[in-house]
Amino acid sequence: MNFSLILLTFSPLVGFLVLLAFREEQKNALRWTALLSSLATFALSIWVLAQFDPAAPGLQLEVNQPWVTVAGATISFQMGVDGLSILMVLLTAFLTPLAILSSWESVKERVKGFMLFFLLLETGMLGVFLAQDLVLFYIFWEFTLIPMYFLIGVWGGERRIYAAVKFFLFTMAGSVLMLLGVLYIGLTGGTFSLPALISGREAFAGAQIWLFLAFAAAFAIKVPMWPLHTWLPDAHVEAPTAGSVILAGVLLKMGAYGFLRFNLPLFPEATLALAPYMAALAVVGVVYGAIVSYRQADVKKLVAYSSVSHLGFVMLGIFALSVQSLSGSILQMVNHGLSTGALFLIVGMLYDRRHTRQMNAYGGIWKIVPVLGALMLFVTLSSAGLPGLNGFVGEFTILLGSFSSKTLGNPWFAGVATLGVVLAAVYLLVMFERVFLGPLTQEENRSLKDLNLREVLVLLPILALILWIGLYPNYFFSLITPSVERLTAALQAASVAMP
Amino acid sequence: MLFSEAQSLTPVLSMVPLVVFLPVLGLIINLLVGRRLGEGFSGAIASLASGGSFVVALLLAFELARSPEPVTVPFLDWITIGEFSARWAFRVDTLSVTMMLVVAGVGTLIHIYAIGYMHQDVRHNDDPGRFNRFFVYLNLFIAAMMILVSADNYLMLFVGWEGVGLCSYLLIGFWFEKGKDGIANARAAKKAFVVNRIGDFGLLIALFLMFAHFGTLDFAPVFEKAPALAAATPGVLLAMTLFMLLGVTGKSAQIPLYVWLPDAMAGPTPVSALIHAATMVTAGVYLVVRSTPVFTLVPAAQNAVMWVGALTAVFAATIAIGQFDIKRVLAYSTISQLGFMVAAAGMGAGVAAMFHLVTHAFFKALLFLAAGSVILGMEKGHEQAHGHEAEQHGHDHFDPQDMRNMGGLRDRMPTTYWVYLIGALALSGIAPLSGFFSKDEILHAAEGNHVAVFAILLVTAFLTAFYMGRQLILVFGGTVRTRAAGASRENPAIITLPLILLAVLSAAGGLINFPGSWALDKWLEHSLEGLAPASFDPLTALVSLLVAMGGLGTAYLVYLVAGQVIETTTPDPLEKLGPLWKGITAKWGVDELYDALIVRPYKALAGFLAHPIDQGVIDNISGGIAWLMNASAEVLRRVQNGFVRSYALIVLIGVVAILTYIVASR
């Protein structure tokens, strides 16, 4: 048995234990411990990548240890990685150290608790992407909820309690339904092991529409899909910068990933039947999120609604069910994590300086903070889908694949979603203009300081990846596509079998 | 054979990626050290990078002169997913190399000119630090434009297409804190990007249709498979070409998306010359000409292209008549001339379109740069005449681009005057300057096919000569109307030398496709199949020449004989046209119309969705369901009491309990 994935998943807990040894006053020691721990986890994720064979479509580095049998159904400690999850794992391990580094100065109180929760969260997220047993997945899924709840509720802004509770209640509402689905499947299928359930899915195929909906409830709220998105703007606005980065960068992806990992292979007939409806909601999300973003006065809210739009693209790509659109969706999940993560980081850097996120408190500051402005423009353009940067590759392949999708059967879904590309330029350039362009409108901004070395170091790795994916995406597609082709082949078989 | 694969690449052909990578290298050097090493260094590196691209393009042209068949030079597998594969490959054929020569050739001259121009511009605008940034953007533009014209498939063309749009955005907003209320330039930049994105939406849909029906975006197989699709489902091909046309109207500033180009004049003048006159805006024309094999299969789409071009030509020409800003006249003139090219491309007269594209690049770049020279002269004159007053009153509102403030510059800026005259006459279509020949070919093509379009273009030719005559008189002729104009003087050689070179090209450019030799026809027929043979009709030529002389003569009569503009406040003699003049000067109210029909309703819709709908209806319903699902009354009460964390604790305990149970029951 290969222990790489177990090591990777639980490596943050080593940092967690070391953190316990320090006192709250040793703030820098706490910060360094958390950073080094997350960097070690990142190194482990690269090690996993090195062992990963891109050409093999199935699960790799598998761990499978039967654990317990409940009412005739086996729960196992089963993990594995494939093309659907490898990039999510890397993204998580990549963003966590950057998020920790970004909190170096902005989190001054209760540093110990903050770092403890952060490392717990990382284990939870990695577990979600690696678990191959439904119960194990559910435990990790719920487990991420708690640290994020506290990160928002304790280190958040003024309305943090409201936002944290809202985040919690929305997510729990979906999770409850998913739990029912998990139990039903496990008890009828006699196992909770995902690969075993996929090959034995006849056992619960009769109820698959309902099961699809039960899982979809949890995942759609997490993504979030329109109209279940209203927790997101509140959560983002109140969350501390690092919380927003991880929330947008990784937690939302758990929703989209859940669809890929569970709904598509477990309920292929239901997927095919419901795909047009899911795609329609996705397209509404694309357009709606873009329109609503345009009228936000708070930068963080604007970026939050832009996530609704961007994840609409991801969901469209998933339910268009073509190889191109699915691969594009997975890459776009990474892209969104990078671009939106970077946007939140930069907004956080502005907030650290001026303690406001209202756009009208800025205006014309590019002259004052040239480096900050240039990096913001770079990230904004990546988010707007400019060719040469990452966002374009994802959006283009999603739309290209969705346009000629046989499942959706007509080009209108992608056609309307393409409007989102136009609208994204509107809200993003309006934001850039309001904050950075024009004359300097507020005297107090004259003394704003440009980025310091630590801040540049936080952003540079993200910018490098944005450029890499934009210029040479084929490396990333080579990781994704074999697994996607395996998935679409299974769906293809289901669609042939359908009456 | 249309397509020969890579195995037999000569060393020269394999150099083609350098047309993109030399400018990229230039911009990287300038990004890293340009600012530290000063203006001379930045300008020289950028010009050398662009000049290097030109040399490579020249070598390619020689190579093609030897063996003119199209070649594809593969470079990188960019995106491969399943059966979709888009590679970055360079297409070297006579059409793409023609574009490369224009882009890098005119581009290099403008780089050199900009060393002189921007030296003064950055000082005039109080921020010398931005000099280096300008050349970084300019090199980025050359690189993106080269990607566009050298692409071997529609995806890479689109990459360049959006890339040049970005450069346009950056350069229109170069002085992002200037313009009316300090925000007008930034707004103009945003407007350009967004309007272009609407066009890009069309181009994207065209690409999706292409992949859906051809399974590829590469030029050669698309052209190969198009006839079968035209036979099977002509509607699809019509949709594809019309969506492409939407893209063309964005990039090449045609009706209905032309509105961004006049505002784009907010960019520094070399930008207006390079991007918004000579090169980027011709990308739409290039796209249609490149896609000739597809367009010829859909006569309805060709008609649409032709009419869009013809109507834009005459519409923009009417607005040019009523402008007072020296650059705005040229901007509307550019829109109008692009209309000529688009109309020609729509008529299937691809060579005529390309011919006019090339000559227009010469004379319109010349006119813009010469206008820049006039503006610099006016600024210097203003500083000299009003220097002390300006210091006392703070900033003043003198507009160095308003032609009413000029007059009589002919004696003060003689070089600029002579080159401007050549450019204006070339644009007006006076023989034997370049514009005469290229415009004549378009008119001749129209005459044979579409009488109404021929008439429209002839009217446009008249208007063109008229507004250029008006501009010549207002700027260089008549009396000096301000002290600034009186004190203006000629610019140094770094500015005037590129002007003289461009003047020579504008004068002699007709030789490229001189009737009888038809060099351009013979050159391009290796890239474009099935072109109608070129011909020259002395009668058409005579008519168009007479029309041009008539336009210039009318301007002379109106502005020098009937009513001279003596002072800055003298009303324009055309005001006698009454409501017509009002319509012209209001630019026919199109911006206002779009504002009322699109911008304001969108704002209102967004406000409505953002607040009453999102924060009201949706939040209440979905939030309410979530609450219900979770909440026993007990939990709700606790939450309201503020003991929220206990709720999380319950979940935590739950999870721990499950875990303990599992572990314990083993």
From CA B364, how far away is CA B423, in angstroms rounded? 7
The C-alpha of B185 sits at a distance from chain A's nearest C-alpha, in angstroms, of 8
Chain A residue whose CA is closest to B615: A230
**Sequence-separated (6 or more) residues with CB below 8 Å from residue B83:** A323, B215
Q: Which residue in A145, A172, A387 is closest to B162 by CB distance?
A: A387
Task: Round to whole Å and give the CA distance between B182 and B169.
Answer: 17
Q: Which residue of A has its CA nearest to B643?
A: A161
Contact A4, A50 (CB under 8 A): no
Asked if A430's CB is within 8 angstroms of B190's CB, the reply is yes
Identify residue B325 by its one-letter amino acid code. D
Q: Name the B residues in 162-181 with CB < 8 Å from any A CB.
A: 162-163, 166, 169, 173, 176-177, 181
Cis geometry, peptide bond prior to residue A227 (ω within 30 degrees of 0) = yes
Identify the three-state secondary structure at position A77.
strand
Contacts of A111 (CB under 8 A, 6+ apart): A24, A27, A30, A31
pLDDT at B638 over 80: no
CB A360 within 8 A of CB A399: no
Count of A-B CB contacts under 8 Å = 203
CB contact under 8 A, B211 and A143: no
- Nearest chain B Cα distance for residue A69, angstroms: 8
Q: Do B81 and A323 touch (CB under 8 A)?
A: yes
pLDDT of residue B630: 63
Residue A154's closest chain B neighbor by CA?
A: B645
Q: Determine whether the interchain pair B187/A433 forms a contact, defined as Cβ–Cβ distance below 8 Å.
A: yes
pLDDT at B392 over 60: no
State yes or no: pLDDT of B394 exceeds 50.
no
Inter-residue contact B154 to B291 (CB < 8 Å) = no
Whole-number pLDDT of residue B640? 47
Contact B81, A323 (CB under 8 A): yes
Among A145, A367, A472, the residue with its CB nearest the CB of B651 is A145
Q: Which two tokens stand for residue B117?
A: 């121009």
- B298-346 pLDDT, tens digit per residue, is 999 999 999 999 999 999 999 999 999 999 999 999 999 999 999 999 9
**Residue contact B651–A230, C-beta within 8 A:** no
Torsion angle, alpha carbons of A24, A27, A32, A38, to 10: 50
Question: What residue type is B261 in one-letter code?
Answer: L
Residue in B82, B155, B658 nearest the CB of A139: B658
Locus of tokens 């071009």: B309
What is the mean predicted confidence (pLDDT) over A234-263?
Answer: 94
Q: Looking at chain B from residue 190 to 249, which residues have their Cβ under 8 Å from any Cβ of chain A?
A: 190, 193-194, 197-198, 200-201, 204-205, 207-209, 211-212
**Residues contacting B390, CB < 8 A, separation 6+:** B382, B383, B396
Identity of the residue in B162, B204, B609 whose CB atom sits nearest the CB atom of A292: B609
Distances, alpha carbon A470 to alpha carbons A371, A385, A387, A464, A466, in Å: 21, 10, 7, 10, 6
Q: Residue B301: CB partners within 8 Å, gap ≥ 6?
A: B237, B238, B241, B242, B245, B295
Q: Quick check: B447 and B454 in contact, CB under 8 A?
A: yes
Q: How far is CA A118 from CA A21, A123, A234, A246, in A?
A: 16, 9, 20, 9
pLDDT at B45: 96
Question: Which residue of A168, A228, A421 is in closest CB contact with B204?
Answer: A421
Q: Give pLDDT, residue B529.
A: 75
Whether residue B494 contacts residue B384, with contact meaning beta carbons closer than 8 Å, is answered with no
Identify the residue with better confidence: A177 or B61: B61
- The answer to whether B428 and B470 are in contact (CB under 8 A) is no
Residues of chain A in contact with residue B182, where contact means CB-CB under 8 angstroms, are 364, 438-439
**Facing residue for A438 by CB, picked from B79, B176, B615:** B176
Residue type, B469: G
DSSP A286-322: HHHHHHHHHT-SBHHHHHHHHHHHHHHHHHHHHHH--
Whole-angstrom CA distances from B651 to A49, A175, B414, B640 are 34, 11, 85, 18
The HSE-up count of residue B221 (CA atoms within 13 Å, CB side) is 12
Report d(CA B618, CA A228) in Å as an integer: 8
Any residues with CB less than 8 A from the CB of A98 and at least 6 apart, and which? A245, A341, A345, A458, A461, A462
Closest Cα of chain A to B205: distance in Å? Answer: 7
Contacts of B159 in chain A (CB under 8 A): 387-388, 392
| Residue B633 reports pLDDT greater than 70 | no
Q: What is the mean pLDDT of residues A447-463?
A: 94
Mean pLDDT of all residues in chain A? 93
Which of B79, B609, B644 is facing A165, going by the closest CB pair?
A: B644
Query: CB–CB of A228 and B622 under 8 A?
Result: yes
- DSSP state string for B182-205: GTHHHHHHHHHHHHHHHHHHHHHH
Could you give the angle at the alpha carbon of B264 between the alpha carbons of B430 and B585, nearest 5°? Answer: 65
pLDDT given at position B71: 92
Distance from CA of A228 to the nearest CA of B (A): 6
In the numeric block, the tokens 């003991």 are attached to B643
| Residue of A429, A467, A472 to mutate for B, most B C-beta atoms under 10 A | A429
With a cut of 60, say whether residue A450 has pLDDT above it: yes
Complex confidence, ipTM: 0.94
Share of chain A above pLDDT 90, in %: 78
Q: How far is B144 from chain A (nearest CA, A)?
A: 10
Which of the four pLDDT bands, split at 50, 70 and 90, describes residue A108?
confident
Structure letter (DSSP) for residue B4: B
Question: Nearest C-alpha of chain B: how many angstroms from A428?
Answer: 10
Distance from C-alpha of B278 to C-alpha of B361, rounded to nearest angstrom: 4
Q: Which chain B residues are Cβ-neighbours of A294 within 8 angstroms?
A: 602-603, 606, 610
Cβ-nearest to B627 among A67, A169, A418: A169
DSSP one-letter string for A359-387: GGG--STTTT-HHHHHHHHHHHHHHTT-T
Q: How far is residue B243's CA from residue B203's CA, in Å, rounded to a whole number?
A: 6
Distance CA B224, CA A315 (A): 35
Write the pLDDT tens digit of every residue in A64-75.
Answer: 988 888 778 889
Q: Which residue of B has its CA nearest to A292?
A: B610
Is the pLDDT assigned to residue A470 strictly greater than 50?
yes
Rounded Cα gap, residues B166 and B176, in angstroms: 15
Q: What's the rounded Cα separation, in Å, for the pair A468 and A455?
A: 21
Q: Which amino acid is at A337?
A: G
pLDDT digits (tens, 9 = 90+) for A366-376: 999 999 999 99
For the stretch B399-408, pLDDT in tens is 899 999 998 8
Mutate to test the interface with B, among A144, A396, A399, A436 (most CBs of B within 10 A): A396
> Rounded CA gap, A186 and B315, in Å?
71
Cβ-contact B278, B364 below 8 angstroms: yes
Stretch 297-356 of chain B: residues touching chain A, C-beta under 8 Å: none
DSSP B339-356: HHHHHHHHTT-HHHHHHH
Which H, E and C letters describe B39-67, residue by residue?
Answer: HHHHHHHHHHHHHHHHHHHHHHHHHHHHC
What's the pLDDT at B530? Answer: 67
Which chain A residues contact residue B177 at CB under 8 A? Answer: 364, 367, 437-440
Instruction: Count CB-CB contacts under 10 A for residue A195.
Output: 17
The pLDDT value given to residue B643: 46
- Rounded to the nearest 5 degrees, what angle is found at the Cα of B178, between the Cα atoms of B172 and B179? 80
The alpha-carbon gap from A45 to the nearest alpha carbon of chain B, in Å, equals 25
> What are the angstrom distances between the C-alpha of B58 and each of A174, A421, B3, B53, B150?
64, 38, 21, 9, 14
Cβ–Cβ < 8 Å for B172, B217:
no
| C-beta separation of A316 from A413 below 8 A | yes
**Which residues, numbered 606 to 625 in chain B, qualify as contacts with chain A under a Cβ-Cβ cut-off of 8 Å?**
606-607, 609-611, 614-615, 618-619, 621-623, 625
Is pLDDT of B396 > 70? no
Contact A173 B629 (CB under 8 A): yes
Which residues in chain A are contacts of B77 at CB distance < 8 A? 474
Q: CB B648 to CB A415 under 8 A?
A: no
Extract the tokens encoding B631. 């909440």
3-state class of B249 per DSSP?
helix
Banded pLDDT at B636 (limits 50, 70, 90) = very low
Band of residue B3 on the pLDDT scale cut at 50, 70, 90? very low
What residue of A is the nearest CA neighbor of B665? A68
Confidence of residue B622 (pLDDT cuts 50, 70, 90): confident
Determine the average pLDDT of the residues in B5-28: 87
Contacts of A227 in chain B (CB under 8 A): 618, 621-622
Tokens, residue B175: 């002085």
Strand partners, B372: none
- What is the per-residue pLDDT for B10? 86
**Partner residues linked to B81 by β-bridges:** B84
| Cis amide bond preceding A268, omega within 30 | no
Residue with tokens 């209905």: B256
pLDDT (tens digit, 9 = 90+) per residue, B207-252?
999 999 999 999 999 999 999 999 999 999 999 999 999 999 999 9
Per-residue pLDDT averaged across A410-417, rounded?
95
Whether residue B256 is preceded by a cis peptide bond, meaning omega within 30 degrees of 0, is yes
Question: Which three-class secondary structure state does DSSP give residue A102?
Answer: helix
| Interchain pair B80, A474: CB under 8 A | yes
CA–CA gap between residue A190 and residue A69 (Å, rounded) = 9
Closest chain B residue to A402, measured at CA = B208
Contact A147, A120 (CB under 8 A): yes
- Give the per-residue pLDDT at A69: 84
